[in-house]
Structure 1
Amino acid sequence: MPPARARKSPQSGGKRPAEDDHSVSPPPLKRKAQTAISKTAVANFFTPTSQKPKERTTWNERSPDEKTLPTLLVGKYVPEETSEKTEPLVGKKKIAAFDLDSTLIAPASGKRHSQDAADWKWWHHSVPSRVKQLHSDGYQIVIFTNQAGLTLHTDPKFKGPKNLKTRVAPFKQKCSTVLAQLDLPITIYAATAKDKFRKPRPGMWEEMKADYELAETDIDHENSIFVGDAGGRIAHLKGGTAIPKDFSCSDRNLADNIGIRFHTPEEFFLGEQPRDFARDFDIANFPFEEEDEDPKFAKTNRLDMVLFVGPPGSGKSTFFWTRLKPLGYERINQDTLKSKDKCFKAAVEALQRGNSVAVDNTNPDPDTRAQWVELAKKHKVPIRCVWFKTPLYVCEHNDAVRSLNKPFNPEDRESLPKLAFNGFASRFKEPKVKEGFQDVTEVEFKFRGTKEEHAIWARYWI
């Protein structure tokens, strides 16, 4: 046998001395390759399609309106022994609704978000048995979850990541596995956009009622529940450990919107006492009041100009239609006219026709307002100012109500981004008479409408 050759060491790249024949070890046994493919999966691959078990979860997509692409993903799980036919309703139906993430399940990896379809575990080991007990007690189980990270349909003009839709399939796979382990008749609703379906907005609840053919009067609201981790809980210390505040109050607000009891996962599954919570905007502070005529504003000039000042959603347009339109004012609005030059032109033409005008724009700063003051001087008419002192959080709420409810949105306005409100705040300077106004009328916010309209307005929409 020829002498053994020197071999390079993979670590050093150099040579090492030749070894004697008796020191050469036999090649190590190959370690069995680790695989995630089970014997069942292999057998299932070779099983004819007609003999494979039926997929118990069926999926569909829904749109918020006729002109919008689908944004709601709905998965319905039907156990094998359960007929899909809806049982006749006997008495009022009890609903047990749950959030998904950080309520029923959590990432097994310990990371904030699941990394793939297999990265999940039960939030607590008691979750499956507790949910199954609710089903045995006659509850209809449903899941309402916000999933802004999913994109069902990408707008062709979208300039962001092109792989957003790839997240949908793993999400479906994860949910199908969760539902299969519970093996109960459950429907999951996943809102993927900031539209009427997103919690705390009641769109998913309305879809659930339609799916189960339930009227609001068919539901036992007193005994129905919603369990979610977004409860608006404030930060506190527990055993010397700092427990952070909740990221949102959307789950608690959804429960309030639909009129059922709310629990956090800690309260429902672990029996812990409720923690203190807070809302950025509490609708309870704005109860319905019979509307009285506002005596602050009256027409004092035969011909004049009125300049509105206030953020988007502060009530300017409503004030015009209910207060100034009946007094004969013409409305000048840049949202409809599309440019400032067209607004100036329309105002001049109205004044030349002998009609007073109301400039229904935000007009946040003195420089913007000065242009209107100069226009009024040029045409020798007084200019008055109406300042809408509505807090920004109320304005954002009003904007959401308007964009999501047709009765409040005769001009079909779309919801505004938060930048629109922050932009106004960054430019705003309090209007003063010395800017050239005849007077400045301050208007505090008050809901102006019917009791039926207040019932829609007085929900949590953001």
Structure 2
Amino acid sequence: MAPPSSEPSKRKATEKPVSPPPVKRKARSNISKENVAQFFTPVSEKQPDLVTWSERTPEGETRPTLLVGRYQPEDVGEADKKERRKIAAFDLDSTLITTESGNIFPKDDQDWQWWDASVPSRLRRLYRKEHYRIVIFSNQGGIVLRADPKVKGSEKKQERASAFKRKCTAVLKALDIPVSLYAAAEHDVFRKPRTGMWAEFCRDYGISADAIDRARSVFVGDAGGRGARPKSGDGTPAIRKDPSCVDRDFAHNLGLAYKEPEDYFHGDAPREFTRAFDLAAHPYTEPDAQAAGVAFEKTNEKDVVLFCGPPGAGKSTFYQRYLEPLGYERVNMDLLKTREKCFKAAAELLRDGSSVVVDSTNPDPEGRKKWIDLARDHGVPIRCLWFDVPKEVCQHNDAVRAFNKSLNPEARTVLPVVAWNTFFSRLRPPQAAAEGFQDVRRVPFAFRGSRDEYAVWARYWY
């Protein structure tokens, strides 16, 4: 066999091609014809951009986390600029728009269409004929407004923010009525169901809380805590379970009527819903009744009381209200940071003659045994208070504490979901005889505080 030639093979001119040349596909550009035309138009002839964008930063923070877009047509009359007391507020995705591709998440900034053909005409009628103020509130956890090089994927999320702005610009222009859009990019005070976006909207338009006609105002959103519906025999398509109840909870916090998109735009009957955490299950009780439900007594001259319970269960509040007045000193992992420092502090307090409360989670027998051994080494009995509180209640409590300075003397921040997942995966309820406790008392959750504190607590925060 002849060795392969180092020269490239050449096809004779008379030879036919082995296959037809590849067809060049037209690339889909993210640049609209309107943008191209604007680029080549002299500055003196360019039309003003009717959509303006701004960014907002939470109090005490340095990075903006709220994106605000505002569309204001040039031909708005003086009558339309007057204060409007009726508010028609909407979620964005799966309420006003959906993906054209059918995907849950859009492929790009052009992958959108109206949720229903009636949406734009309905919103225009609300503004032009019924004199509503139109506003959009959207949670957008997939974007960031300022990339953080230390956070993986942050630059990609900032690119998504630019695409989101392009898409929303097209949506607002297509509506062609005065409308503002507020998009919360982080899990902070701006994120629904918290009311930070609403507060920004009211400030932007100079609307006082008392001026709003809440009886005729409405919030429409798809996250209503509704369950899934299977495909029926008559061909009615299946419906996915709502991802959360955040829109219904947001409307509750604002004091507005809540409507599902199918109800508001189609007139369909509302579907059944459930809340993992329902404020109605936790009514306010007077302080005397709160104290009567505790009945904790100091039964030993000196002892250790070990707390067992998830983050946000109310352990620190319980200590401050009921054990601190009895003379107990507190050892807390959140303040001391390490288990070794906690053991050292507890030992010193016991040597000084004080009774001690160990205010930490202590989910498993192995961790609790070290405290039982410490108490035994100092010749004192050890009791256990088990805060048996569901995860959803704990998450609510944690958010209330983090976003309200008056209820957060230790300046704690919102915990990640993994904090509760870790606790409940390790949880083994304490057993008195088996573990060596003098007694174990179960403490179910109940709100403990003043009526003013309850007014803050009794909103949806998580």
TM-score w.r.t. length of structure 1: 0.90
Change (3 A) 1:205 1:43: closer
8 Å CA contact retained: 1:332, 1:359 = yes
Distance of 1:221 and 1:390 partners within structure 2: 35
Partner of 1:450: 450
CA shift at 1:53, angstroms?
A: 0.5
In the alignment, is residue 11 of structure 1 matched against residue 5 of structure 2?
no
* Deviation digits for residues 307-357 of structure 1 (CA, Å, limit 9, x no counterpart): 111111111000000011111111100110011110011111112222111
8 Å CA contact retained: 1:387, 1:443 = yes
Distance of 1:157 and 1:425 partners within structure 2: 30
Distance of 1:197 and 1:12 partners within structure 2: 57
Distance of 2:351 and 2:372 partners within structure 1: 17
Partner of 2:335: 336
Partner of 2:5: none
Distance of 1:323 and 1:44 partners within structure 2: 69
Distance of 1:383 and 1:301 partners within structure 2: 10
Partner of 1:80: 74
Partner of 1:57: 51
Distance of 1:66 and 1:85 partners within structure 2: 38
1:190 aligned counterpart, secondary structure: strand
In the alignment, is residue 213 of structure 1 matched against residue 201 of structure 2?
no
Change (3 A) 1:176 1:85: farther
Partner of 1:20: none
Structure 1 runs not aligned, ≥5 long: 14-29
Partner of 1:255: 251
Distance of 1:432 and 1:38 partners within structure 2: 68
* Deviation digits for residues 367-395 of structure 1 (CA, Å, limit 9, x no counterpart): 11111111111111111111111112111
CA shift at 1:442, angstroms?
A: 1.5
* Deviation digits for residues 5-49 of structure 1 (CA, Å, limit 9, x no counterpart): 422423299xxxxxxxxxxxxxxxx99989867876554333211
Percentage of matched positions with identical amino acids: 52
CA shift at 1:127, angstroms?
A: 0.8
Change (3 A) 1:128 1:384: same
Distance of 1:43 and 1:440 partners within structure 2: 75
8 Å CA contact retained: 1:230, 1:252 = yes
Change (3 A) 1:219 1:421: same
Partner of 1:274: 270
Supply the AA of the counterpart residue of 1:253: D
Which residue among 152, 155, 169 is the counterpart of 1:159? 152
Supply the AA of the counterpart residue of 1:379: H
CA shift at 1:215, angstroms?
A: 2.0
Q: Any residues of structure 2 matched to 1:371-390 within 5 Å, and which?
A: 371-390=370-389
1:236 aligned counterpart, secondary structure: coil
Distance of 1:99 and 1:428 partners within structure 2: 38
CA shift at 1:162, angstroms?
A: 3.4
8 Å CA contact retained: 1:86, 1:212 = no
8 Å CA contact retained: 1:58, 1:76 = yes
8 Å CA contact retained: 1:78, 1:84 = no
In the alignment, is residue 227 of structure 1 matched against residue 235 of structure 2?
no
Partner of 2:286: 290
In the alignment, is residue 459 of structure 1 matched against residue 459 of structure 2?
yes
Partner of 1:170: 163
8 Å CA contact retained: 1:364, 1:424 = yes
* Deviation digits for residues 252-275 of structure 1 (CA, Å, limit 9, x no counterpart): 111111110111111111111111
Partner of 1:125: 117
Change (3 A) 1:84 1:307: farther
Partner of 2:8: none
1:289 aligned counterpart, secondary structure: coil
Distance of 1:34 and 1:236 partners within structure 2: 39
Change (3 A) 1:41 1:190: closer
Change (3 A) 1:315 1:39: closer
Partner of 2:348: 349
| Corresponding pairs, count | 441
* Deviation digits for residues 69-125 of structure 1 (CA, Å, limit 9, x no counterpart): 111101111111237999554xx7111001111111111222222222222111111
8 Å CA contact retained: 2:86, 2:217 = yes
Change (3 A) 1:54 1:334: same
Partner of 1:71: 65
Distance of 1:79 and 1:274 partners within structure 2: 35
Structure 2 runs not aligned, ≥5 long: 1-11
8 Å CA contact retained: 1:296, 1:441 = no
Partner of 1:17: none
CA shift at 1:401, angstroms?
A: 1.1
Distance of 1:384 and 1:40 partners within structure 2: 73
Change (3 A) 1:42 1:449: closer
Which residue among 136, 141, 145 is the counterpart of 1:148? 141
Change (3 A) 1:324 1:68: farther
Change (3 A) 1:159 1:116: closer
- RMSD after superposition: 2.4
8 Å CA contact retained: 2:69, 2:181 = yes
TM-score w.r.t. length of structure 2: 0.90
8 Å CA contact retained: 1:297, 1:441 = no
Comparing 404-413 and 139-148, the one that deviates more: 404-413
